[in-house]
Amino acid sequence: VKVHDFYVTPTKAYIVMELLKGGDMLEHVIESEEGRLSENVAAGCVKALLSGLAEMHRVAYVHRDIKLENLLFAGENCEPETLRIADFGFARKMTSSRSTLSEQCGTPGYVAPEIITGQCYTPAVDCWAAGVVLYAAVVGRFPFDAGEDTQASFRMIAEGRVHEIPASSGVSDDAKDLIARLLTVDPVTRFTAEEALGHPWIVKHTSS
């Protein structure tokens, strides 16, 4: 999100930011005609997300709360080129003396297995959350949804038990492949943002 100005008074600090009038990505998924986004639109949005994550990770920042509600649009509609990553309240900078993090945070349904199981973690947690975003965008439901049973959902995440995408859904094999590579339990072999940007599904649907 662009910052236009800031100023400080004796009692308060003010930040003037870009007006994002296009709503968030969750709203657009829910309100779409089929309850999910077309693969062309989803790929554009996910590419914008991954591009932002790649830059954040390059300068050693981890967002830690990537979710549909934190992906906002500056344009009137779900226009990928206007997507902005918002809410950096949980963001942390990695340092030479702190190459991993251990604080448990994030939003249930999006948190990576290593956070749920209490392990130290890296920027790979953002890529897991990007996989959840992608799945929800093209399928129209969440990959680890267990209703009101949060613990069951956490077990699914820890074990990498994703709800199978029905063949009748029409979701392409390339999209399923990228989802699988982002929702890989082992953070070492999980796709990075840079790797995901080079995936055939992203390239195919965003090349003009």
Domain boundary assignment for the chain: 20-206
Length of the chain in terms of residues written: 208
Give the separation between CA 109 and CA 117, rounded to whole angstroms: 14
Q: Whose CA is closest to 108, among 153, 59, 172, 174?
A: 153
Give the separation between CA 180 and CA 127, rounded to whole angstroms: 11
Average pLDDT, the chain: 95
Q: Are 137 and 42 in contact (CB under 8 A)?
A: yes
pTM for this model (two decimals)? 0.93
pLDDT for 45: 98
20-206: which CATH topology? Transferase(Phosphotransferase); domain 1 (1.10.510)
Q: Does the pLDDT of residue 135 top 80, yes or no?
A: yes
pLDDT for 98: 82
Q: Does the pLDDT of residue 38 top 80, yes or no?
A: yes
Give the separation between CA 57 and CA 122, rounded to whole angstroms: 10
So which residues are the catalytic ones? 65
Q: Does the pLDDT of residue 208 top 90, yes or no?
A: no
pLDDT for 17: 87
Q: Does the pLDDT of residue 159 top 90, yes or no?
A: yes
Q: Does the pLDDT of residue 2 top 90, yes or no?
A: no
Q: Are 171 and 145 in contact (CB under 8 A)?
A: no
Give the separation between CA 52 and CA 38, rounded to whole angstroms: 21
